[in-house]
Structure 1
């Protein structure tokens, strides 16, 4: 067995500063406010429509700011060190969104129980869908064993670890999963938001099925897809959409590693062995992927406790501002609900550390938040009322602004991928969403 994935680029240090995150938070506020000011834009595309929400503008503007950092004036210059800081802040900021969804899930447990088999079996759609759509396309485009790594999952961090342990990251499979990871990081949220919104506008699937399809195991991609679906529903249905998406994402996050390791990866290997002699071609794409190596993926440093609390505080304040701009709420009225969200995040993070990080923080935060609003909690009605004053979509512009500000650091590696494997990555992302949606629709 190959050595586990450990080859990373050290993030650049950048200029030394006593308060290294102040500039990042300043740029985050500017981008988020501009995204909220633009608001939602609807585009008609054939028989359907695409709704571009503020979170899409946030990630796009953040990426552009990073790409143009050399030509920007000093106060707006987002150098590579700041891009790495944005990536390190993204995960703590994401926990606020996870907590908000968990609070919604807790009060909706009876509805989730009623979904029954749909919620249970949609997980198969998530992981088989990537292979059914992505693998044949990869082979037709002349991609060889890189196709296994690029199509056995959506290529998030657990998938990197699985392939790194099994094959090594400098293997063809390693280059394939790295291509999927980079494509998803750069374009995954925008792509799946457009796809989910378009499918929702066609009215082919029940909103709950689309919601379950949105739980792909990536917080930012789930937020983008579910938000795009929820934006086209009534207020009550929109809340249920986010609830089902959160439950689906929790299942994918907790059980996804086992599905990818024991089901989808062996299936991808088997599918490659059977289909490659039939569909496989030898083209320029067969050697393009060798230009990408494990060193193209830099490890993002973890925040210390003080920096983590700073990230939570800034994300919380900007969320209240976003809720005020987008939905007209008064920050003084939404502040108590935000304090409940922060409490769930803090307790979940402590439990994660106390258990040696064997269970991801997102799972602990989700469980803690669900417990607070479940029928078993005597204060559930009061907590539901407090946290319900904060619209779930007001959290996403903040989170995806951090994601957008971190994108440009991955562009050099992305340029070496070749368009074919990028197209395959898009197909795999579409496959996981559509596959889970179809399974959920059948069992709903």
Structure 2
């Protein structure tokens, strides 16, 4: 069972996640964000195409490297397991700031999104079935058995863990499969999808907006990485549209995703497994299924629950990190208008989170934050143009880098469980992630540009 600790002013949480550990973590995160933004965008030629490596990827890799090297580092620089759990806890606050910025972009573009027709609606079928179409045959050919169901019915984020846990139990083969998908997404997901999205975008086969809709997989960090890789290869105007459509797609996926995976994706994957396994399983021979995880294994060894004061302090500091990236990579001075723009971005975060608590958490916080932000820049709302202009000084990618920095700093704690799952199911998980992106992008492309 997970151990919950409350981190807040006046409280002394268990597990060494007090004020000192929190201060050290944010100082380390600041150094990582500054280093990643100083490296900047790196373009890697790949034949006639290219891959653009963004600061958010450097932040993820630097954070992960620091966590993995922790046992060999001096005590003053060591990232303890408690600090890694604390870093995982600050992922959600960092994500809400990013979501607020995207919501502010979406609000002013609602008429254009509605004008896109059915492409935004039907591309969701690519998200929810693409994982199975790409991942399940690969799993069966590699000799994986029922673990394949859990690993390929979705992208395996927290709602998927809950669905499989309730239906089969986390100690089941299906439970080990969804755990593998969860851990692979945490450790490799953002890097993999950013490289894939950047490569596909450079081929100029898909409309950038179709790829943007494909990026909205329901995971904030993966969406940020994919949208960033696509936007980096576009003009500034198209890059803003990419962020807008990726955010809109991610909101739709987040809103209906749990019900879609529960009532459609999972039953269909179970049926497909029963149909395909007798055929494809013969080509795999007597392969050994993925190693069983010990009873009670969970993706997070200790859950840190942040109190109100810690949340507000975290939002302020993470917003400041966004200003650092906005200055280093995108050349916007951290002057009065930029600080004011960042302060406005925090408004939907605070209001949306208050609504989330007031409604007893019926809907995820990201939905409330997105809706409030969209209302603030909806064309018919008062001061919508002024709000859009002020917040437009902050590049959305500058707010993605802190998310990946905290994700990287939290990775090392999951490596032992990750190793137990075996390499075959990791390949399957990456195929599922590729499937959800490419499947949705393909459907969106067909709706936007139907064949003659």
Measured in 2, the distance between the counterparts of 1:104 and 1:365 equals 13
Structure 1 residue runs of 5 or longer lacking an equivalent are 1-6
Measured in 2, the distance between the counterparts of 1:328 and 1:179 equals 40
Aligned-pair distance for 1:13?
4.9
- In structure 1, the residue matched to 2:375 is 371
Structure 2 residue runs of 5 or longer lacking an equivalent are 6-12
Q: CA RMSD in A?
A: 1.5
Aligned-pair distance for 1:74?
3.0
- In structure 2, the residue matched to 1:127 is 128
Q: Does 1:345 align with 2:346?
A: no
Deviations 1:290-321 (A, max 9, x none): 23554142253221111111110110111011
SS at match of 1:132: helix
- In structure 1, the residue matched to 2:9 is none
Contact 1:9 1:297 in 2 (8 A): no
Superposition map of 1:268-417 within 5 A: 268-281=269-282, 285-291=287-293, 293-298=295-300, 300-332=303-335, 333-417=337-421
Bigger shift: residues 10-19 or 187-196: 10-19
Q: Does 1:138 align with 2:139?
A: yes
Aligned-pair distance for 1:76?
2.1
Measured in 1, the distance between the counterparts of 2:48 and 2:97 equals 36
* Residues 1:82 and 1:285: Cα distance change in structure 2 (over 3 Å): farther
TM-score (norm 1): 0.96
SS at match of 2:52: strand
Contact 1:96 1:341 in 2 (8 A): yes
Aligned-pair distance for 1:84?
0.4
SS at match of 1:164: helix
Bigger shift: residues 66-75 or 122-131: 66-75
SS at match of 1:397: helix
* Residues 1:191 and 1:435: Cα distance change in structure 2 (over 3 Å): same
SS at match of 2:45: strand
Measured in 2, the distance between the counterparts of 1:68 and 1:10 equals 26
Deviations 1:3-56 (A, max 9, x none): xxxx44779954464443100000001111111111111111233211100000
Deviations 1:111-150 (A, max 9, x none): 1011111000010000110010100010010000110000
Deviations 1:314-339 (A, max 9, x none): 10111011101111212122111111
Measured in 1, the distance between the counterparts of 2:97 and 2:17 equals 29
- In structure 1, the residue matched to 2:98 is 97
- In structure 2, the residue matched to 1:233 is 234
Deviations 1:63-89 (A, max 9, x none): 000000112223321111110000000
TM-score (norm 2): 0.94
Deviations 1:203-262 (A, max 9, x none): 110000000000000000000000000000000000000000000000000001111011
Measured in 2, the distance between the counterparts of 1:377 and 1:270 equals 48
Aligned-pair distance for 1:398?
1.2
- In structure 2, the residue matched to 1:179 is 180
Measured in 1, the distance between the counterparts of 2:253 and 2:139 equals 24
* Residues 1:284 and 1:397: Cα distance change in structure 2 (over 3 Å): farther
- In structure 1, the residue matched to 2:200 is 199
